[in-house]
């Protein structure tokens, strides 16, 4: 199946040439270290057995990874899956973000969670929650004391990753694509209505969450630091979730070929899924500076809201 998907993907790439900004001498495919294989069931949450393991049950999540899109939510969930006291949902639910799902009720949501033992905590992740206008109030109505995990990366880099994902999705579905500059700039000015930019206004979305949850219930994971050195970030998450320290340095190894850390647990190793390899565009420097300048004030406001700073350009 992997060979078939790879062959089909190459055929699409041959049929639809990439925009000029993707073609540079020596510019190869780079893997996004924030996204692990989304198809692999984690911690038994694939529910493939006809009956649940004895002593397990399905429960509403104790913690939710609320975002941000292209910030590293999949990597964070996969890394948390190393911990024996974490039961992670295998798929994104989009429960609090989609009205059609929310109308199905909390019982429907609970049934989508993995089977877990009494000593385990259940974790769900849906990146769209962070930018949803409705999710904070709805999650609070379900459980006002729930612990929230928010993983963020440099907002300008997040915009480019967001574009890249949409670009390849459209390419694979035979839809027209545009160069990133054509989306970032309209009539000579930065197109602040572009959805990828809107998603990177962290202060705007954080205000909405702080209306319903105290800052102490929202732990922010530095997505850029998670790439460079995952263990310290995971240890902070363990403490936030009141988990005993079980994630250790031997759970990670640096893959020289890929250029980032991969996971080692339960006697096996896993890295990025092959389908995650995507070339990122070389953005016009003037346009990139326009984007960074616009985001600077929003970043400063976000830093004040969360009472900490990040090393963003």
Q: Is residue 2 part of a domain?
A: no
Other C-beta atoms lying within 10 Å of the C-beta of residue 247: 22
pLDDT at 50: 61
Q: Is residue 4 part of a domain?
A: no
pLDDT digits (tens, 9 = 90+) for 195-223: 999 999 999 999 999 999 999 999 999 99
pLDDT at 164: 93
Q: Is residue 3 part of a domain?
A: no
Residue 64: what are its φ and ψ, rounded to 5°? -130, 130
Q: Is residue 9 part of a domain?
A: no
Contacts for 122 with CB less than 8 Å, ≥ 6 apart: 59, 60, 61, 62, 63, 87, 88, 89, 113, 114, 116
Region of 266 (left: φ > 0; alpha: ψ -120 to 50; beta: rest) is: left
Residue list, annotated binding site: 70-74, 153, 161, 261, 276-280
Structural domain total, the chain: 1
Domain CATH number, residue 219: 3.40.50.300
Residue list, annotated binding site for 3'-phosphoadenylyl sulfate: 70-74, 153, 161, 261, 276-280
Question: Could you tell me the residue range of the domain that residue 89 belongs to?
Answer: 33-306
Q: Is residue 42 part of a domain?
A: yes
- Of 58, 70, 125, 147, the active-site residue reads 70
pLDDT (tens digit, 0 to 9) for every residue of the chain, 313 residues total?
444 444 443 333 333 334 433 333 222 223 344 444 444 444 444 444 468 999 999 999 999 999 999 999 999 999 999 999 999 999 999 999 999 999 999 999 999 999 999 999 999 999 999 999 999 999 999 999 999 999 999 999 999 999 999 998 899 999 999 999 999 999 999 999 999 999 999 999 999 999 999 999 999 999 999 999 999 999 999 999 999 999 999 999 988 877 778 999 988 898 856 545 466 889 999 999 999 999 999 999 999 999 999 999 8
Q: Is residue 26 part of a domain?
A: no
Q: Is residue 47 part of a domain?
A: yes
pLDDT digits (tens, 9 = 90+) for 115-151: 999 999 999 999 999 999 999 999 999 999 999 999 9
Contacts for 127 with CB less than 8 Å, ≥ 6 apart: 65, 66, 67, 68, 69, 70, 71, 73, 92
Would residue 125 show up in a list of annotated catalytic residues for this protein?
no
């Amino acid at each position: 199946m992997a060979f078939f998907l790879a062959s089909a993907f190459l055929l699409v790439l041959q049929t639809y040439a990439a925009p000029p900004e993707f073609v540079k001498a020596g510019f190869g495919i780079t893997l996004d270290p924030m996204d692990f294989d989304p198809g692999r069931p984690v911690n038994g949450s694939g529910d493939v057995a006809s009956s649940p393991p004895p002593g397990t049950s399905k429960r509403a999540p104790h913690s939710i990874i609320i975002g941000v899109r292209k910030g590293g939510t999949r990597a964070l969930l996969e890394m948390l899956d190393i911990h024996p006291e974490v039961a992670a949902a295998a798929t994104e639910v989009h429960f609090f973000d989609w009205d059609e799902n929310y109308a199905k009720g909390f019982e429907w949501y609970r049934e989508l969670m993995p089977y877990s033992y009494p000593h385990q905590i259940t974790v769900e992740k849906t990146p769209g929650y962070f930018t949803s206008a409705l999710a904070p109030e709805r999650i609070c109505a379900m459980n006002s004391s729930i612990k929230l995990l928010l993983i963020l990366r440099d907002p300008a880099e997040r915009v480019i990753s967001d574009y890249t994902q949409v670009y390849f999705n459209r390419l694979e579905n035979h839809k027209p694509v545009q160069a990133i500059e054509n989306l970032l700039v309209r009539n000579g000015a930065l197109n602040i209505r572009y959805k990828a930019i809107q998603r990177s206004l962290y202060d705007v979305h954080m205000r909405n969450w702080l209306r319903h949850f105290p800052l102490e219930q929202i732990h922010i994971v530095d997505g850029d630091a998670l790439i460079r050195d995952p263990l310290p970030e995971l240890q902070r998450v363990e403490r936030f979730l009141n988990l005993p320290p079980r994630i250790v340095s031997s759970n990670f190894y640096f893959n020289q070929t890929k250029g980032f850390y991969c996971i080692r647990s339960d006697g096996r190793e896993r890295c990025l899924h092959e389908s995650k390899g995507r070339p990122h565009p070389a953005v016009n420097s003037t346009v990139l500076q326009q984007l960074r300048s616009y985001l600077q004030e929003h970043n400063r406001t976000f830093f004040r809201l969360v009472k900490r700073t990040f090393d963003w350009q």
